[in-house]
Amino acid sequence: MREIVGEMRKYLVCVTGASGAVYGIRVLRALAESGCEVHAIISRWGERVMVEETSRPFAAWVDTLGIARERVYDAEDLSAPPASGSFPLDGAVIVPCSMNSIGAMASGICGNLIHRAGLVCLKENHPLVLVPRECPFSLIDLKNMTTLALAGAVILSASPAFYHKPKTVDDLIDFIAGKILDRLGIEHGLFKRWE
């Protein structure tokens, strides 16, 4: 794990329109609780799925997550800071990451700010964690994920383990959030590790 030395570490968390909005919410909260500067983008379909799955829009979650509202960007605003390589980041996570977003980034297409920010992370060599929540994967999905992995992204599927004997859905969510934080080099106690 990397230690936070000197200035606060800065992360971008993006939520797209795949099922699993709770993973994005948990990662946002965990990063904020760890003392990181957290920036966020939610796509239009990410917002729709979040309302379906949690009965609350993203705006209702923001204040409970410890994220500054001025660090939440409109997914259609390609002039927002995360669109530029000069916007310093210690890493980014797209959770959940839709197959549409994976396909766009694998093709180099910037359909929205999430796609652009992901491609910027790859070109600037910032850690980029993509968390697909799809089942099963088509051959096209697998090829697109392979393209992104070869470009430097980490593909971390939303597939929780059971060796830690989860008792609740929150235990399963925390496992995936913890694995994401592991990839970003952030210490946490979200799940019991294998011994």
Q: pLDDT value at position 1? A: 38
Domain ranges of the chain: 10-184
What pLDDT is recorded for position 103? 98
* Closest by Cα among 78, 60, 81 to 70: 81
| 18, amino acid identity | A
- Is the model more confident about 52 or about 5? 52
Q: 82-125, pLDDT tens digit by residue?
A: 999 999 999 999 999 999 999 999 999 999 999 999 999 999 99
- Percentage of residues in the chain having pLDDT higher than 90: 91
- pLDDT surpasses 90 at 3: no
User: Has this prediction a pTM greater than 0.85?
Assistant: yes
Query: What is the fold, at CATH topology level, of the domain defined by 10-184?
Result: Rossmann fold (3.40.50)
Give the other-Cβ count within 10 Å of 3's Cβ: 8
